[in-house]
Amino acid sequence: MALRLRRGTNAERQLITPAAGELIYTTDTKSLYVGDGTTAGGVVVQGSGGGASSLNDLNDVTLGSISDGQVLAWSSSDNYWTAVNPAGATLGNLNNHDDVIYPDGGPGWGQILIHDGSNFKVEQLKDSQIRLSIVGNNSSLLVDHDNNRLMGDVYGGDLYKLDGTQLVDTSTSTVKNMTIEAGDGTTAYNPTTKLFTGDIIGNFQGDIFDLGLRKVFDKATGQWLGDIQGDIFSSTDDSSKILDSFNAVFNGTVNGQLLGTMSGSVFGEDSSLLVDGINNKITGQVSTQLGVLAGNIKLTSATSKNTMFLEQNTESNVFTITTENTAGSIVLGRSSQVGGVTDTGNNRTLGVYNDAVTQGTTTIRTFHASDAGYGSTYGALRSRGTKAAPTAVQSGDQLGAYAAAGYNGTAYRASGGIRFLASAAPEANRIPTNIELYNSAANGDQTVVLQIAQTDSVASFSGAIQLKVVADDTARSAAVTTPAAGMIIFNSTGTKFQGYTGSAWVDLN
């Protein structure tokens, strides 16, 4: 009588743990296993006729020439297991892996796998999950993750304060609501009061107003409406005072037409005609300490062509126009200029002296009244060649600047300012221009702090950008009561840069 062993398929064998010495025969693989009491499915019986001693001895395995790192993969076309490289093995979909949590309906566009400490989860990448440094294509560091700094240039973006106020509009290359501070820490321009404080060196466009917002200079008519203080001295060697502003006395000589109330003619000791009563003209020189009173003084001559000048004298070569009344004004009723078209020297300047110490004092102001949408403009006109025969500017030419200087005990030295540089060749209707805010380095060279490029709408900072710093979330809420999307703040608790998404503050590092 034959001995019949416990039997079943190979899959059924793996589901039981046979007792020690118990034999199991698999009907599909024709193999014999013996139990040891602990091994699931038992241990295959080896030896003569007891089974294969290596993988290649199995009927459904054909290894061929194998290499390090290869794995067994089933070939459905050949109906056997064979050695292949891992890249040739199909691992299946991600949702077949135990450590991947898949969302219902599959992943969405742009989602990635993020490990939560236990499993990989399919999620959309969030700002708070970005913690990396960024390097440009020239290997320069653009974003320094370790030190929480932006190191590269900022292209194409506007600049806003934490309260949402726009400071830089790249679409119009405009700086808005920004205070300009001089090198000594004083305010050079106050955007709230729209006042410049200190001297203005160079050309300008627009009206000029005093602290009471009264127009001192009218750019439309070229008239000075405010007072000009100071004496006027002769340009001759005797330096005699022609106009004594303190005593309101005019001591100079008048050559030309003087209109006023007058009867008769006046002749000098040499019988020369000084005052022509018939034609109402003063033909001789006027020298007086009492001043000249007249409704209007007209200068006209076939040779001098309405020119008033001060001859050199030993006392002074300063020509002063002022009013005796402290509330009076000197009005220039037409466009005025310093120097002429043919002047080539560099000493044609306009100086304004003012010792007012009140903060916000405006030395030069323009008054402009119009129902149109345009306001006053300060301008500098620049060309190459000469003023009489100008030629086109070139890329890199400084077109104009507003500069500030301070006295260091020896001389006035540059501190900083704003300047305009041609950034490309002139075009038919414009000059492409970069706007630069600069200060002075220790050696006196100009160092650009902020540049706004007109050609590609670029704003770049040469130094670090200081954000609003709060102690914690409570202080942040008190400092920013109505946050808006896109705001950035620095929270010193946890040393975090935080951004407002439109509904909540999130950590950016």
Find where tokens 């993020």 sit.
Answer: 114
pLDDT at 256 over 60: no
Regarding beta strands 23-26 and 6-8, do their DSSP bridges make them parallel or antiparallel, or are they unpaired? parallel
Q: How far apart are CA 500 and CA 509, in angstroms?
A: 13
Given CA atoms 42, 47, 48, 53 in this order, what sign does their dihedral have? positive
Say what the pLDDT of residue 409 is.
93
**Range ranked top by mean pLDDT from 51-55, 130-134, 153-157, 474-478:** 474-478
Say what the pLDDT of residue 300 is.
66
pTM passes above 0.75: no
Long-range residue pairs from 454-463, CB within 8 A, at least 24 positions apart, any chain: 454/173, 454/423, 455/423, 455/424, 456/155, 456/156, 457/155, 457/156, 457/170, 457/171, 457/173, 458/153, 458/154, 458/155, 458/156, 458/170, 459/154, 459/157, 459/159, 459/168, 459/170, 460/153, 460/154, 461/154
Given CA atoms 183, 187, 192, 193 in this order, what sign does their dihedral have? negative
Cα-based angle 161, 162, 168 (whole degrees, multiple of 5): 20
For the chain, what is the radius of gyration of the CA atoms? Answer: 45
Hey, what are 472's tokens?
């914690």
As a whole number of Å, the end-to-end CA separation of the chain is 81
Find where tokens 């900083």 sit.
Answer: 416
Out of 33-42, 212-221, 481-490, least confident range = 212-221
Say what the pLDDT of residue 263 is.
54
pLDDT at 346 over 70: no
Q: Which DSSP letter does residue 125 get?
A: -
**Closest C-alpha to 256, from 305, 301, 292, 302:** 301
Higher pLDDT, 160 or 414: 414
Q: How many CB atoms lie within 10 A of CB 137?
A: 6
**Closest C-alpha to 214, from 242, 195, 235, 186:** 195
Identify the bridge partners of residue 75 per DSSP, sorted by sequence position.
Answer: 80
Q: How far apart are CA 241 and CA 229, in angstroms?
A: 14
User: Who contacts 215 (Cβ-Cβ below 8 Å, separation ≥6)?
Assistant: 207, 208, 209, 225, 226, 365, 366, 367, 368
pLDDT at 392 over 90: yes
Q: How confident is the model at residue 236 (pLDDT cuts 50, 70, 90)?
A: low
Say what the pLDDT of residue 147 is.
80
Element (H, E) at 474: helix 473-479
Residue type, position 441, single letter: A
Q: Are 154 and 461 in contact (CB under 8 A)?
A: yes
Q: How confident is the model at residue 192 (pLDDT cuts 50, 70, 90)?
A: confident
Hey, what are 417's tokens?
């300012």
pLDDT at 49 over 70: no
Say what the pLDDT of residue 501 is.
92
Q: How confident is the model at residue 238 (pLDDT cuts 50, 70, 90)?
A: low
Residue type, position 486, single letter: G
Q: How far apart are CA 166 and CA 195, in angstroms?
A: 20
User: Who contacts 468 (Cβ-Cβ below 8 Å, separation ≥6)?
Assistant: 162, 479, 480, 489, 490
Render pLDDT for 326-343 as a digit per residue (tens, 0 to 9): 888 888 888 888 777 777
Q: How many CB atoms lie within 10 A of CB 66?
A: 14
Cα-based angle 466, 467, 469 (whole degrees, multiple of 5): 115
Q: How confident is the model at residue 428 (pLDDT cuts 50, 70, 90)?
A: very high
Q: How far apart are CA 224 and CA 218, in angstroms?
A: 6
User: Who contacts 189 (Cβ-Cβ below 8 Å, separation ≥6)?
Assistant: 179, 180, 195, 196, 197
Say what the pLDDT of residue 394 is.
96
pLDDT at 422 over 80: yes
**Range ranked top by mean pLDDT from 43-47, 55-59, 500-504:** 500-504
Out of 14-18, 22-26, 283-287, 480-484, least confident range = 283-287
User: Who contacts 298 (Cβ-Cβ below 8 Å, separation ≥6)?
Assistant: 256, 257, 258, 259
Say what the pLDDT of residue 167 is.
81
Q: How confident is the model at residue 84 (pLDDT cuts 50, 70, 90)?
A: confident
Q: How far apart are CA 204 and CA 199, in angstroms?
A: 12
Residue type, position 389, single letter: A
Regarding beta strands 398-407 and 412-422, do their DSSP bridges make them parallel or antiparallel, or are they unpaired? antiparallel
Tell me the residue length of the chain: 509
Q: Mind listing the domains of the chain with CATH numbers?
A: 6-51 (2.10.10.30), 94-125 (no CATH), 127-168+457-509 (no CATH)
What's the whole-number mean pLDDT along residues 22-31?
A: 81
